[in-house]
Amino acid sequence: MKNNKSNSELPSSNVSRRQFLKESSVAGVAVASQFPFVSTGVASGYGKSDQIRVGVIGCGGRGTGAALNVIGAKTKVIYPPPHNGYHTEDAVPGARPKAENVSIVALADLFPERLRECRQQLKNVGVEIRDSLCFVGFDAYKKVMELEEVDYVILATPPFFRPAEVRAAVEAGKHIFMEKPAAVDAPGVRSIMESGEIAKKKGLGILAGTVRRHSADHIETIKRLHDGAIGDIVEGRCYFNIGEIWVIPREPGWGDMESQLRNWPYFTWLCGDFIVEQHVHMLDAMNWVLKAHPVSAYAMGGRLQRPDEDYGHIYDHFAVEYEYGNGVRVFSQCRQIEGCTNRVALAVLGSRGSSNCEDTIPGASTWKYEGNMIDPYEQEHLDLIESIRNGKPINEARAVAEGTLTAIMGRESAYSGQLIEWDAALNSKRDYTPAQLGFGACPFPEVARPNNYKFF
């Protein structure tokens, strides 16, 4: 995936993280007072006939996908195994109430061509976005927060940016669909937790794109586990072992910062390492099943087959033993190495049985989920919109923050070689923000090794 744009098209602002966080909060306050309708009590005032007006921040693969999900959330369904996949053309009329009166009105991205691609995809399905509601640059998200026309934001930038965006959205009175993970470090996690509390007081919804929590098969299965179908859960396992994902090699003319931003999944400050960026799905699901977060992580990991700097400095495998408060242990693996046996799965063992936490509880009379399902990527928006209109907005900030910290704790244990406890992870002072946020110098980070990396 190559990109030929040079720095000349890009905004030149240099913003430190402190400034970024401070300004986003200040901008939010100004907007809140300027537009009291969007800042207070929107949830309780919503009816089905009121438009939900969506602004998309981060117009890449997932931002564009989520934008299509929020407007396509009316008819698309998927079927459970053996069909096993998202059959987006197969509509089951009446399978689910429609999310009516939802429109996409604004777009924001750091890079102009990413925004253009998203805008074109929306145009292809009949959605036109006005020029005046398209914004590019590091400040683009703030412009969307200032819009009276927007009351629901999709946040799909690289994870580093999420805490500041969530805070700005909450301050500005917007409902939030935020992609996972919530942050890349403990200060970011704490910020999300605080934003979640502010959102509750303001009656704002926050739903995180963890997918499984809005997937009918997982919901039904995990409900049965919570109701005691396999007795007390004594052990868990989770895996996100796959091959390589996309890489965007550095192009001539790109500075250090631009090349890292474009190739963000390979830099810990931007993505949290892939245990945080990707495996958070499974760790969040384990916390959900166990109704808890772990008390400690004991991990190892490394970088075996990331051949060069196009693959940044992150690891390509982690193995973590998580201990939960009641002595339950969860064994966790994730890997991004080509040519290995892939496995993306959950499993728990109970005192009276076992389950894949997805759709099956084996036994003398095996239980299996057999209902139809709406694509969970659409179901997420249906659920958030319905909760807003019912005046009881969903708030998943705490859950996704804890899932994210679970992953960060595993990463920090592997990087440092130390067993890490939850409270230490939560109170960690390590802040991954680079010295300057702007197009220019950004040192290439070292690979973390227990002999050069200290947890603090």
Ligand X SMILES: NC(=O)c1ccc[n+]([C@@H]2O[C@H](COP(=O)([O-])OP(=O)(O)OC[C@H]3O[C@@H](n4cnc5c(N)ncnc54)[C@H](O)[C@@H]3O)[C@@H](O)[C@H]2O)c1
Length, in residues, of the chain: 456
Q: Does 179 bind ligand X (CB under 6 A)?
A: yes
Q: Does 218 bind ligand X (CB under 6 A)?
A: no
Q: Which of 28, 55, 60, 410 binds ligand X (CB under 6 A)?
A: 60
Tokens of 35: 């537009």
State which residue, 58 or 188, has the beta carbon closest to ligand X. 58
What is the CB neighbour count within 10 angstroms for residue 84? 9
By C-alpha distance, which of 46, 70, 445, 455 is closest to 263? Answer: 445
| Nearest distance in Å: CB 113, ligand X | 9
| Nearest distance in Å: CB 248, ligand X | 8
Q: Does 373 bind ligand X (CB under 6 A)?
A: no
Q: Does 156 bind ligand X (CB under 6 A)?
A: yes
Q: Does 58 bind ligand X (CB under 6 A)?
A: yes
Q: Does 62 bind ligand X (CB under 6 A)?
A: yes
DSSP result, 118-184:
HHHHHHHTT----GGGEEESTTHHHHHHT-TT--EEEE-S-GGGHHHHHHHHHHTT-EEEEPSP--S
Q: Does 31 bind ligand X (CB under 6 A)?
A: no
Tokens of 30: 């100004």
Q: Identify the DSSP state of 212.
A: G
Q: Which of 52, 71, 104, 109 binds ligand X (CB under 6 A)?
A: 109
Number of amino acids touching ligand X (CB under 6 A) = 26
Q: Does 63 bind ligand X (CB under 6 A)?
A: yes
Tokens of 450: 């227990």
For residue 53, what are the β-bridge partners?
Answer: 103
Q: Does 159 bind ligand X (CB under 6 A)?
A: yes
Q: Does 59 bind ligand X (CB under 6 A)?
A: yes
Q: Does 178 bind ligand X (CB under 6 A)?
A: no
Q: Which listed range, 4-12, 70-78, 156-164, 309-317, lies at the site for ligand X (CB under 6 A)?
A: 156-164
| Nearest distance in Å: CB 116, ligand X | 10
Q: Does 138 bind ligand X (CB under 6 A)?
A: yes
**Residue 205 and residue 43: Cα distance in Å, rounded?**
8
State which residue, 154 or 361, has the beta carbon closest to ligand X. 154
Label residues 191-225 b or e (16+ Cβ within 10 Å = b). bbbbbbeebbebbbbbbbbbbbbbbbbbbbbbeeb
By C-alpha distance, which of 244, 252, 246 is closest to 3? Answer: 252
Residue spans of alpha helices (H) in 265-339: 268-271, 274-277, 280-290
Q: Does 61 bind ligand X (CB under 6 A)?
A: yes
Q: Which listed range, 61-69, 89-97, 166-174, 363-371, lies at the site for ligand X (CB under 6 A)?
A: 61-69
State which residue, 2 or 201, has the beta carbon closest to ligand X. 2
Q: Which of 157, 195, 268, 433 binds ligand X (CB under 6 A)?
A: 157
